[in-house]
Structures are given as C-alpha cells and as structure tokens.
C-alpha cells in the first residue's frame, strides 16, 4: 500500500518526479563535468519552479510565497534529491519566519525581493570556532547611535556566491543573540575566500564583517524580545532544514536503489546476473528497508508540523528524521558503489557522485552527534511515548 498522500500532494509528487526524470537527471553528468553549465542550467530550471509555484515555497501565499505545506515541501525536496549535482534543486525555500517578523521596511527592502527571486540571501551563523555550539559565536553587535556596529568572520555561508544580503547572527553586549539584515555591498563586508568542498553544486564562502554599521531598522524582530528570539528563529530554521535534508536523502536513496537494481539485473559475472547472488540481494534489501523507515519518519514528521504539534516534540522528531535518513542514505550510497564495482568509483557514475554529495548531510544543520544529543535530551525530558508514540 502506498503512503496515504492527499490527491493534490500525489499530483505534486508526480509533477516533480517527471521534471526530475525528464529535465534534471539527463543533464546531471554535464553538470558534474562543467560547473559553468551547471549554474546556467540551475537558473533555467528556477524559471520552471517559479512557473509552478515552487518559488519561496516556505512563505505563506498572502505574503507572496508558494505557501506549500510541510508535507508538500518534503515531497518536493525528496524528488529534487533524486538528481545529483543540485540540478533538481530548482525551487527556493527561504526561512518562513522572515516574512512573519519583518517590519514593513524590511519586507520591502529584503523579503519581498527575496520572495520574487530578485534578491538572494545567505544565513551566516557558523564561525571558525563555533559550529555545533552556536552559543560560542564570537561575532558582536555593539549598539552605536541609531544602529549597531557588527564584527565577525562567518564560515560556510551557503548561497554566499550569489547572495546580495546576509542574515547575520551575532551577540549583543549583554550576551543575547541577535539577527540582522546586512547588505553584501555594505562597507566592511569582505569575501575572505571561497574554499573547494567535496561537492561542486554550490559554494560556501567565508566572509569577514569588519566594523559594519547597520541602522536599527536592520535588526530582525526589533522589539523588546529580539535577543531571545534570534535563537528561537534559528532553531526554527534548523528544524525545517533538518526535515528537508531527510527528504532529500530519501530521494537520493530511492534513486540509488533504482540504479543499483537495474545494474544488478543486467551485469553478468560468472555466467549470471549479479542480482542472482545473495550478497548483492542483501545489500539492496537492507537499502530498501531502511529507505522505507526513513520515508515514513520524514512524512509523519512533516504532517505533525502541518498539524502544529508541540514544537519541542517536533524538534526531537526532526533530529531523528535527519539523523536516520542521512545515515541511511550514506549506507545506501556506499552499497551502491560496491554493487557497481569499478564503475561505481568513476565520477561519471551516479553512485560516485551521491557518495560524495551525501556526506555533508551528516554534518550540516547539526552533525549526527548533535542530533543524537538532541534526541537523548528529548528522551530524558519528555520520554519515549511523547517522541515516538
Ligand atoms: C557545505 C556546508 C554548508 C554549510 N552551510 C552553512 C550556512 O549556510 N550557514 C551556517 O551558518 N553554517 C553552515 N554550515 C556549517 C555547519 O552547520 C557546521 O559545519 C556544522 O554545524 C558543524 O560545525 P563545525 O563544522 O564547526 O564542527 P564542530 O562543531 O567543530 O564539530 C567537530 C566534530 O565534533 C563533534 N562534536 C561537537 N560537539 C560534540 C559533542 N558535544 N559531543 C560529541 N561530538 C561533538 C561534531 O559532531 C563533529 O564531528 C555549513 C557547513 C558545510 C560543510
């Protein structure tokens, strides 16, 4: 029996699946071999996403976004995750809270253009000495005149290649966290370098913010609660991203199982297809079983978010979905490389590319170790029933 997706969600799934099969997958190898083509192709696919209501899909419709449910977004990410080299990631999903807390000035200056796809952002939290432990950030926001002076060096800024503004997380003088809009072209913002990563589908530069003055209008959620809200919003963003990572990992694993199964049926060794050997069958059987579990966790967590269930429980469930799905996808990619044999080690092979690209899913938006800490914390505080019943 298939998962009981509502009809409109099933239609969305079919549409995305067709797009990924017919448009994204056929060009992913070209994207691997030619990064310039990859960029151009992604831009072209973004036009398709805009035409199909997948732009700013996190943002409610009354604010100009796509207004998709969490389940629908998980479905979109799952299908997008079936292609390598990011060619399936044509949609955009900026943090929803921005549209909820933005002042009219912030809406006009950053959010509405971001929703329209004319401005791009990077969410800059991590620093050289502060990744897992967000509270250890050393970036500062010092009140001065009618604004703030910002200092800090931010690492791994995803989207930093095209971003023309940052969501910059810093600590105020009293130690509370705060988020600011910072324009890329502002005095004091400097690109330090753009390191190479294990994947080639996106860049994550390092930026220095040196005595950058921003008016108080740039402070996100600039009311009396601003300091506590910064971490609240960042945690909301982490939950969302963790669930969508889980969804993309399900898509990747699904593709790998399809590809490895087709190869196993076709590849003849010692006179018979390798699919006839139990060693190969067991790898595929384990992969399929683990994919099913990860998909159920992902869909059910998305549905719980759509129902607006207790955010503390959701926090633990997003951590479980991300932990399990990312580790599952890593195992599936490893088995797929093994099934393809020497071919699996070639960059032109899908298993090679996923093997490299999926590795980051155990690291970004909180490593597997951090997800385990969150899950154990939830277990101790709220109990097994609350988290899994
Ligand atoms: C490609 C990529 C894109 C990224 N994009 C962004 C972005 O857009 N914006 C942004 O702000 N950040 C971004 N990040 C940063 C990412 O979120 C961090 O790399 C991640 O949270 C881990 O932090 P760290 O690298 O500093 O590792 P560390 O925190 O230094 O951890 C190192 C190791 O120690 C382990 N560890 C740490 N604490 C514990 C503990 N208590 N118990 C057990 N083990 C522990 C970790 O699990 C890890 O294995 C990105 C990273 C990558 C690789």
Token digits of residue 314: 């959701």
Give the residue-averaged pLDDT of 18-36. 94
Q: Which of 1, 2, 12 is nearest to 69 (CA)?
A: 12
Q: CA 224: distance to chain centroid?
A: 31
The Cα-based distances of 20 to 13, 73, 75, 115, 334 in angstroms read 10, 15, 12, 23, 23
With a 6 Å cutoff on the Cβ, whether 367 touches ligand 1 is: yes
Whole-number Å distance between alpha carbons of 288 and 328: 10
Q: pLDDT tens for residues 76-95? A: 999 999 999 999 999 999 99
DSSP helix/strand/coil, 168: strand
pLDDT recorded at residue 165:
98
Lowest mean pLDDT among 3-7, 124-128, 266-270, 320-324: 3-7
pLDDT recorded at residue 221:
83
pLDDT recorded at residue 35:
82
Query: Please, which residues have CB within 8 angstroms of residue 131's CB and are 6 or more apart in sequence?
Result: 155
pLDDT recorded at residue 1:
63
Whole-number Å distance between alpha carbons of 21 and 82: 9
SS3 for 119-162, per residue? CCEEEECCECCECCCHHHCCCEEEEECCEEEEEEEECCCCCCCC
Q: Which of 389, 385, 250, 374 is nearest to 319 (CA)?
A: 374
Atom 41 (ligand 1) nearest CA? 370
**Residues of the chain above pLDDT 70, percent:** 98
Question: What confidence category does residue 226 fall into, taking pLDDT thresholds of 50, 70 and 90?
Answer: low
Whole-number Å distance between alpha carbons of 302 and 74: 7
Question: What confidence category does residue 389 fall into, taking pLDDT thresholds of 50, 70 and 90?
Answer: confident
With a 6 Å cutoff on the Cβ, whether 363 touches ligand 1 is: yes
Buried b (16+ CB within 10 A) or exposed e, 267-288: beeeeeebbeeeebeebbeebe
pLDDT recorded at residue 84:
97
DSSP helix/strand/coil, 380: helix
Measured in angstroms, how far is the CA atom of residue 80 from the centroid of ligand 1?
24
**Residues of the chain above pLDDT 90, percent:** 93
Q: pLDDT tens for residues 283-318? A: 999 999 999 999 999 999 999 999 999 999 999 999
Measured in angstroms, how far is the CA atom of residue 131 from the centroid of ligand 1?
4
HSE of 95, CA atoms in CB hemisphere, 13 A: 24
Whole-number Å distance between alpha carbons of 242 and 298: 10
This model's pTM is above 0.95: yes
Q: pLDDT tens for residues 160-218? A: 999 999 999 999 999 999 999 999 999 999 999 999 999 988 999 999 999 999 999 99
Atom 37 (ligand 1) nearest CA? 132
Whole-number Å distance between alpha carbons of 51 and 46: 9
With a 6 Å cutoff on the Cβ, whether 369 touches ligand 1 is: yes
Measured in angstroms, how far is the CA atom of residue 134 from the centroid of ligand 1?
9
Measured in angstroms, how far is the CA atom of residue 129 from the centroid of ligand 1?
10
Give the residue-averaged pLDDT of 343-355. 98
Whole-number Å distance between alpha carbons of 148 and 142: 5
Whole-number Å distance between alpha carbons of 97 and 226: 13
Measured in angstroms, how far is the CA atom of residue 338 from the centroid of ligand 1?
28
Pairing mode, strands 268-269 and 206-215: unpaired
State the chain's mean pLDDT as an integer. Answer: 96
Q: pLDDT tens for residues 28-69? A: 999 999 988 988 898 889 999 999 999 999 999 999 999 999
């Amino acid at each position: 029996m298939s998962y009981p997706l509502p009809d409109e969600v099933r239609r969305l799934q079919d549409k995305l699946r067709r797009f990924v099969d017919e448009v994204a997958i056929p060009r992913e190898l070209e994207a691997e071999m030619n990064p310039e083509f990859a960029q151009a192709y992604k831009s072209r696919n973004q036009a398709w996403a805009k035409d199909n209501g997948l732009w700013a899909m996190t943002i409610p419709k009354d604010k100009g976004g796509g207004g998709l449910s969490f389940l629908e977004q998980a479905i979109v990410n799952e299908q997008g995750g079936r292609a390598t080299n990011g060619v399936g990631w044509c949609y955009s999903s900026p943090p929803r809270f921005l549209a909820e807390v933005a002042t009219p000035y912030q809406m006009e200056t950053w959010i509405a253009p971001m929703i329209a796809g004319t401005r791009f952002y990077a969410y800059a939290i991590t620093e050289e000495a502060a990744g897992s432990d967000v509270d250890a950030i050393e970036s500062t926001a010092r009140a001065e005149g009618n604004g703030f002076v910002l200092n800090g060096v931010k690492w791994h800024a995803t989207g930093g290649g095209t971003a023309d503004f940052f969501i910059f997380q810093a600590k105020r003088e009293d130690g509370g966290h705060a988020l600011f809009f910072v324009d890329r072209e502002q005095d004091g913002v400097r690109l330090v370098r753009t390191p190479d990563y294990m994947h080639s589908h996106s860049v994550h530069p390092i930026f220095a913010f040196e005595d950058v003055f921003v008016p108080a209008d740039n402070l996100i959620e600039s009311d009396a609660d601003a300091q506590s809200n910064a971490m609240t919003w960042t945690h909301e963003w982490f939950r969302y991203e963790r669930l969508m990572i889980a969804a993309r990992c399900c898509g990747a694993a699904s593709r790998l199982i399809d590809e490895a199964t087709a190869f196993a049926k076709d590849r003849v060794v010692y006179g018979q297809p390798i699919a006839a050997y139990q060693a190969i069958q067991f790898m595929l059987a384990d992969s399929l079983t683990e994919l099913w579990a990860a998909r159920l966790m992902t869909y059910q967590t998305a549905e719980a978010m759509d129902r607006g269930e207790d955010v503390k429980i959701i926090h633990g469930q997003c951590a479980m979905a991300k932990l399990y799905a990312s580790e599952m996808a890593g195992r599936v990619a490893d088995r797929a490389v093994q099934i393809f044999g020497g071919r699996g080690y070639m960059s032109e092979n899908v298993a090679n590319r996923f093997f490299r690209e999926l590795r980051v899913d155990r690291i970004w938006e909180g490593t597997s170790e951090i997800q385990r800490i969150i899950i154990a914390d939830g277990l101790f505080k709220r109990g097994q029933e609350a988290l899994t019943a």
